[in-house]
Structure 1
């Protein structure tokens, strides 16, 4: 193998730095490939006509730059920086197999949008200073105006800027609401099948959850009224846009009935609109119909990137002081750096572009899903999650365990049932968990095959 000898004859400055720069360029251009051995110092000093000390200092400089690594008794090699980065950024906890359990937006063009926005920020000293400083819970004027304008356009309703609070995502919003507006042992009404982490949050906070019966159109108004009379709750938690876990949506007439009942019994509605809903299926939210009794929970974690832990609340003005006090007690204020990134994406079109990309990819994945599991319910919204009923004698728990042994991870219905609410035999899968359509297809085939085997018995 030919030994690589750099040319430093036309370089100015200290010879060790000229040599280091020449080798850096060779590494960056892949002329010196990963794991390639550099020439021994004595041989390189002889070939270049420099001292061994010059080569030693050049190699030390390259090591400081993170480009090479010495191996005792073997020599000096070009470092595999990509592998090192992958190890550095590898999750502490991960699982093998096909993950159909995690609900997250696919990473499509978001990395490019992040790179662009960070470059823009790097040229704005005023913005840099602002996003690194301390503030009150109210945040920064420009950030709040940006969110106000975006929400007014998106929801097609005027939003008073004073009704907005930034949070660290949907889960943080729910924690603030629970801490502010309820007390231990108090009753909160929820859908019989409910977002699992809200159940967990209420258990941790010692709140009593009472399930309201569900059908294909959402919670049943008559059962809601019965529980309002019996328990006199202050809060009702709903996912009206796209129910978690079943994927159904509350229709317009039922929304009005729910609002009428909540007004009559002085119940505040927590409208959780965090889950991604395709543009074609978005309805007017409850907060636009009944702003005086609705606390709207929104987040960019499901609409842009899972690692973007930024969300917001739209609340009645009467609750602003209470919620802001809790926010200050909880975390003082939300990172203006994270909010600034969101606001830039909201104004430069990135958020809208990613929304369309996700919708297109999600549509393709639903077509794939429908090949193996034809739709049984027209009320189901084509979001990230799909609800799969199971034949007897399967239960969600037993089937989830069976699939896990085959490397397929799903969510069983038991995770979402509140109290003694009847647990259907079903599983929830996320079409966006797998990174590729081929991986998703493999997972769907295995699920389909396992269900077929049970039916044959």
Structure 2
């Protein structure tokens, strides 16, 4: 057996036995080489293999650390389930009292509408005309005057992002994205073999000077952005910054992909990028967060040059949005149900952020006053994966920065989703998070 293989196997045995605890910093490449009597290039190969096995994480400037094997890779977008008895601060699925009865009433109304036979058939790939018109009217209330001919109905915002990327980009294309960005977009880009180029951020949004330099240096084909309630950092870009971003995209002939999944939580936001620069912006949103996660209905508003490509991608992936859920969603768009639910969820999110302020007083965190998530940066020498593992043992599921990070090194931070438990449970859970964080990260 090759020498480096024996060293790898020894590390594997010690990590899996628990002899090397999660969060343990391994020797530097030079120290490992000296200790084992091997070349530095061989030491590098040892750590590369351990990384490929998912046993360690390598962080530029900080070293190589043992992963916690009790946590799924990324413990975010890659996580399939949360233990039934755990409090879920990983995913947001906000629901309000009475939503079940709202659905029951909608199903009764639909059953007597006389349109059931039509719902049993394939629908137009981008949605029926009357449904696209209902979406367009809804978007006008959000500040986007969208022509129904440019509206496409998709199976949730994630499907909207997927079909947009399939329609507009090719493997190897460079897409600019914030250094911390939505984990689902990051996973999509990887699946479609796109290169994500990180853009440095400020406390108020992306660093547009850094984005300008990136577009000069690299052939950036698209810019992915969340101007209204960024996930996970919670900013809302001012209108002037939106105009500057649109002008930058024009100068470099880059497509803007505007993700507005959480935009409904912001009252009276600035106009969407799609209203400022409609000819090069694809606007993507949906009803999963504002209404219900099980209602997989979303919408894309695309420039005329992109519509046919997105329609083709819908046909290739789902053929059309399920007719029954689309019919219910569009009824609710028309009768005011969606507007009512969005207003109530804004109030609910504000109440949850008030709990965050009370329980995290004195701790650094980043969030928006009406968002359903909060970002908690940790001290530089802390280990987010170790803290997540400690919380998991207390039946609290959280996400580290790893699934959101486009750039390296990955920051030590937690992202906490706030909407998937009742207020009393959220209060006591955040109190535990505070106590564990102070004990583990600030000792």
Do the structures match in fold with TM over 0.5? yes
Structure 1 runs of 4+ with >4 Å offset? 91-94, 375-379
1:122 matched residue in structure 2:
111
Would the aligned equivalents of 1:276 and 1:383 in 2 still touch at CA under 8 Å? no
Q: 1:210 aligns with which of 175, 180, 197?
A: 197
CA distance in 2, matches of 1:289, 1:380: 24
Instruction: Trace 1:320-335 onto structure 2 (pairs within 5 A).
Output: 320-335=307-322
Cα distance change on mapping 1:379 and 1:444 into 2, 3 Å: closer
2:348 matched residue in structure 1:
361
Instruction: Trace 1:55-454 onto structure 2 (pairs within 5 A).
Output: 94-125=83-114, 127-155=115-143, 157-275=144-262, 277-280=264-267, 282-374=269-361, 380-420=368-408, 422-434=409-421, 436-454=422-440
Would the aligned equivalents of 2:89 and 2:397 in 1 still touch at CA under 8 Å? yes
Cα distance change on mapping 1:142 and 1:372 into 2, 3 Å: same
Give unmatched runs, 5+ long, in structure 2: 1-79
Cα deviation digits, residues 279-323 of structure 1 (max 9, x gap): 426331111111111100011001000111100001111111121
Question: Higher Cα Rg: structure 1 or 2?
Answer: 1
CA distance in 2, matches of 1:134, 1:455: 54
Aligned length: 363
CA distance in 2, matches of 1:340, 1:94: 34
CA distance in 2, matches of 1:138, 1:278: 26
Cα distance change on mapping 1:92 and 1:367 into 2, 3 Å: closer
CA distance in 1, matches of 2:245, 2:126: 32
CA distance in 1, matches of 2:156, 2:109: 25
Cα distance change on mapping 1:257 and 1:377 into 2, 3 Å: farther
Secondary structure of the corresponding residue to residue 376 of structure 2: strand
Would the aligned equivalents of 2:167 and 2:306 in 1 still touch at CA under 8 Å? no
Give unmatched runs, 5+ long, in structure 1: 1-90
Secondary structure of the corresponding residue to residue 224 of structure 2: strand
Secondary structure of the corresponding residue to residue 235 of structure 2: coil
How high is the TM-score relative to the length of structure 1? Answer: 0.75
Secondary structure of the corresponding residue to residue 154 of structure 1: coil
1:36 matched residue in structure 2:
none
Cα distance change on mapping 1:456 and 1:322 into 2, 3 Å: closer
Cα deviation digits, residues 389-435 of structure 1 (max 9, x gap): 22353132222122112111111012211142x4322111011022x
CA distance in 1, matches of 2:414, 2:167: 34
CA distance in 2, matches of 1:343, 1:392: 48
Query: Structure 1 residue 381: deviation in Å?
Result: 4.5
CA distance in 1, matches of 2:192, 2:373: 28
2:66 matched residue in structure 1:
none
Secondary structure of the corresponding residue to residue 280 of structure 1: coil
Would the aligned equivalents of 1:391 and 1:451 in 2 still touch at CA under 8 Å? no
CA distance in 2, matches of 1:250, 1:438: 32
How high is the TM-score relative to the length of structure 2? Answer: 0.78
Would the aligned equivalents of 1:277 and 1:382 in 2 still touch at CA under 8 Å? no
Cα distance change on mapping 1:397 and 1:377 into 2, 3 Å: closer
Query: Structure 1 residue 360: deviation in Å?
Result: 2.0
